[in-house]
Every structure is written in C-alpha cells, then in structure tokens.
Amino acid sequence: MNPLNFFKSKKSKEEQTSAQEIPLIDGKHNVQAPVPPKEDESKKTTVPNEKPTEPIDIDAVEKEIIKSFKTVYDPEIPVDIYELGLIYEIKIESDGNTYVKMTLTSPNCPVAGILPGQVESAARGVEGVYDVKLDLVFDPPWGPDRMSEAAKLELGML
C-alpha cells in the first residue's frame, strides 16, 4: 500500500471544485500559501502616541486611564482589573509619559501573556498619553484584600 493513500479521503464535489480553483503556486502543486501565525500580544512593540505640545491635565488623564482600565477584564473573574486591585500605581508626567505598575492574581495566571499588553493598550488609547511604561510585579503579591468593595460585592464576598 502506498503510504500517501493514508492522507487521501473522499471529498465532496464542492471540496473538489474549490481545491481545483486554488492557483498552482509553482506550476505543479495545488497548494495554498501558509497562513502566518497570530502575533503574541505580549511581544508586540508599541510606538508612542503623538507627543503633546502643551502640558496635559494630569488628573483628567488619570481619570480617563482608570476609566479605560475598567474595560479590561481577567476572563476568569467577572470584575474589571482596576476594581480587582491589579493596578498598583499610575504615574503620569506633564509630557504624557505614563508609568503603570500592575500585578496578576497569580504568577501562573493563564492570561499572563496577554493581560499586560491589554492594560498597556488601554492606557495608550487615552488622549494625552504619549508613551507607556508598564511594570508587571509580583511583590507585594495580590490578595483579595486589594479588591474594591464593589468587586467584593460583585463576587459575593460581602
């Protein structure tokens, strides 16, 4: 038996037709070009926004950053990351440079590869923010005591 027969299967008329419509890449083989893998959010390099020409209103920008953080959720917990207490610190300079210190619920958190990138993007999307430096820390460790009263209420902890 030819080992290649293992990969052959009966195809419907539609599948046979669609396979015949794929252009011959090298004139002999009827294959499609490979699809590039999805980009890992945590490894993306981001470009700063346009630098503000005048000093920004730091308090207003901080309020908008917090509002933006409240749209980011840990998919395993139905509470936003800000109310969950994952944001430890936000520092904003008058030129729009922004520093965010955050943690995760656990160093082994399944979203460790994407959540910091989502937080950085949320901050970067706020008008007045020029560039974002995000530090992911695990000291001090996160605990339920860092959650807001609203988050504890939402999770039935009060």
Q: pLDDT digit string (tens) for 99-151?
A: 999 999 998 988 888 999 999 999 999 999 999 999 999 999 999 999 999 99
User: Collapsing DSSP states into helix, strand and coil, what is residue 49?
Assistant: coil
Q: What are the extents of the domains in the chain?
A: 55-154
pLDDT tens digits, one per residue of 6-59? 334 444 444 444 444 444 444 554 444 444 445 554 444 556 677 777 889 999
User: Collapsing DSSP states into helix, strand and coil, what is residue 104?
Assistant: coil
Q: Looking at domain 55-154, does it have CATH number 3.30.300.130?
A: yes
* pLDDT surpasses 60 at 156: yes
User: What is the rounded CA–CA span in Å between residue 131 and residue 51?
Assistant: 8
Model pLDDT, residue 76: 83
* pLDDT surpasses 60 at 1: no
Tracing tokens 């990138």 back to the chain, one arrives at 117
Cβ atoms of residues 51 and 95 within 8 Å: yes
